[in-house]
Structure 1
């Protein structure tokens, strides 16, 4: 009865903490108060934390020795003005948790507390990583630079999914989230009077040709069975109605799921731009920026996470390929693991000013990740994490379930 009462109290406490995080969001790399709150909340449950050289963010170890299983949550918010009407809206002008990282933090915070309660039953260590700066894709690289994953055997992470119903779970083997590339293009023509375009080199016309031509990359240059999206999202030029501007700037993104396709898209993009520049006798400058790589789930650990989710009562399904970016990919380039989706049943999508994920997902997901970490430790301890081994019911401690 005491344990049941404690779990009810924790369930309510996680909701309180999540709402506080939501009311006081912080941008990437600025999560100082979020970090301080987490330190205080963890300390209330006898959990010490370290920063391992990170400016913001925390790392917690629960248990002892090897093997080591890591769980990761992201902390940062977005530069978006919240438009929701609930009673815990953001108090910070122009900043909100429009991606649900407050939900993720509450889930993994809950998992840490549940694991601490069962620390004596762990077959190794669980490393909890409260990671800063996911939204600008720098946080995972900061964690790696500090050697925080050096002794970790497997890592798991999550994202809430607005298009999934509450109580639903999805992941997939192999590629999941996309390679993310950003491009900035400057078309350098020659300005002229709008009534005498022949005296100049119309940068707007040339940029328009480029935008149209770029769509041939996905439709005619890349295998139609491969994921490929090239989107121009900004065009800036001119400052009056009767002058052809000398320059036009374009900005956008390319999304793919394989390394080979990623390289081909960049190659074709630059070839097309060079061809158009040559045809019109202008200069086209391209700044191509590589963002995070695709999230590539390890087949064994994706299946492992799915099997446990089903045992924990989730409705499981195979996730569709996702075209969002996620710096969790950097971890999976170093060690095996799996990234999963937990249904948040929001009427509005991620990065929308009215996004409001269903916080009822928090406690069941905390229980799930606590059980997942314990089961993964047992798997690694018993079978050396061999891919041919599979999860069975006896791997799970009844105290976690």
Structure 2
């Protein structure tokens, strides 16, 4: 990559950073991505997307179509960095590095466009909206973004890895994410006369402690899972037993069998405790995101591309965070890597930042990965 192109991409990243847009509000971001692609005569596919862009470079030779994906949305966070290009919109920030992802994959597209006469196949670029609310990938697939695509590749920046380091791991890299709501119903009454009531606070309290036995005693020792209850609401004064208590929380897993088993285990336990105390329960489960499950057949070429380019390849350490790249992997084989950016803070922190030299690494890596996959 030339210094001129790198400086151009850095400028584009800073523009996006100054002008963050939340999920499904990325109209300006979308318009600029289209303009930047069109400036290099890269074809934009006419998909019916309100926000987000899908583009494609067709090689001179016949071959498969692969995809490279970036997310483009920001977060509802007030930026606290001191960079001169900090967010101009109060309460919105690129605190997860999607501005970096966008220009890096744009850079890969520009590099590949310059060598399309050597490509054996096509490369599709998915600049996806609404990753932060786990809806963008679903809509992109519904609109045809994966039509004819044989495999897909993507990345997430990793602030705790140095620039030039790429984390690679087949299997589960980012956890499945599921949500639940539980309402324990009792019978309200006087706090001093509890025998005439059915106390849902007691029922809920038993459940909060007992539910952890599902992880400790009902799942396989080698399964990775966590159940976190993050919200409890019940009652509104000191001397009245309420009618109900509501709980909310999340479950994170890496193994499909564990993910499939946990909802019934949680529901059965809730019903048992509620009925044992004379109450009842309403249990709502939301299948939010599957696990980012990297295809083992792609690991060798992903690793070799990085190593041959002189990058430091390390084993990717799994994260219990979620990523809707996983949704694409339920349709076609895919591989998601960690890209080192040497940042001062973790994702979603108001002082999140990164080393912009990582743009060059990411752009060149994905351009070469596409060439290698299509030549295989």
| TM-score w.r.t. length of structure 2 | 0.95
1:9 and 2:1 equivalent?
Answer: no
Moved more, 77-86 or 18-27: 77-86
Equivalent residue, structure 2, for 1:43: 38
Q: Where do residues 72-111 of structure 1 align in structure 2 (5 Å cutoff)?
A: 72-111=69-108
Q: TM-score, normalised by structure 1?
A: 0.89
Residue of 333, 336, 339 corresponding to 1:336:
333
What SS class does the counterpart of residue 57 from structure 2 fall into?
Answer: strand
Question: Which segments of 5 or more consecutive residues in structure 1 lack a partner in the other structure?
Answer: 380-401
Which 10-residue stretch deviates more, 347-356 or 235-244?
Answer: 235-244
In structure 2, which of residues 127, 130, 154 is the aligned counterpart of residue 130 of structure 1?
127
Tell me the residue number matched to 1:247.
244
After TM superposition, list the pairs within 5 Å mapping 1:45-60 onto structure 2. Answer: 45-60=40-55
Judging changes above 3 Å, is the alpha-carbon distance between structure 1 residues 345 and 199 closer, same or farther for their aligned structure 2 residues? farther
Whole-angstrom distance in 2 between the partners of 1:164 and 1:248:
43
More displaced 10-residue stretch of structure 1: 144-153 or 27-36? 144-153
* 1:63 and 2:58 matched: yes
1:335-374 equivalent positions in 2, closer than 5 A: 335-374=332-371
Q: In the alignment, is residue 325 of structure 1 matched against residue 322 of structure 2? A: yes
Which structure carries more strand by proportion?
2
Match of residue 20, structure 1, among 7, 15, 24:
15
**Correspondence for 2:295:** 298
1:32 to 8, 27, 51: 27
Deviation at 1:345, TM superposition (A): 2.1
State the Cα RMSD in Å.
1.6
- What is the DSSP-based 3-state SS (H/G/I as helix, E as strand, rest coil) of the residue aligned with 1:33? helix
Tell me which residue corresponds to 2:181. Answer: 184
CA contact (8 A) 1:173 1:303 kept: no
Which secondary structure state, in structure 2, belongs to the residue aligned with residue 83 of structure 1? coil
Q: CA deviation at 1:270?
A: 0.7
Cα distance in 1 for residues equivalent to 2:88 and 2:234: 36
Supply the distance in 2 between the matched residues of 1:343 and 1:184 (Cα, whole angstroms). Answer: 36
Question: Any unmatched runs of 5+ in structure 2?
Answer: none
1:237 to 226, 231, 234: 234
2:264 maps to 267
Superimposed CA distance per residue, residues 84-133 of structure 1 (whole angstroms, 9 cap, x where no aligned partner): 22222222222212211111111101111111111212111111110111
The 3 A distance-change label for structure 1 pair 182 and 51 is farther
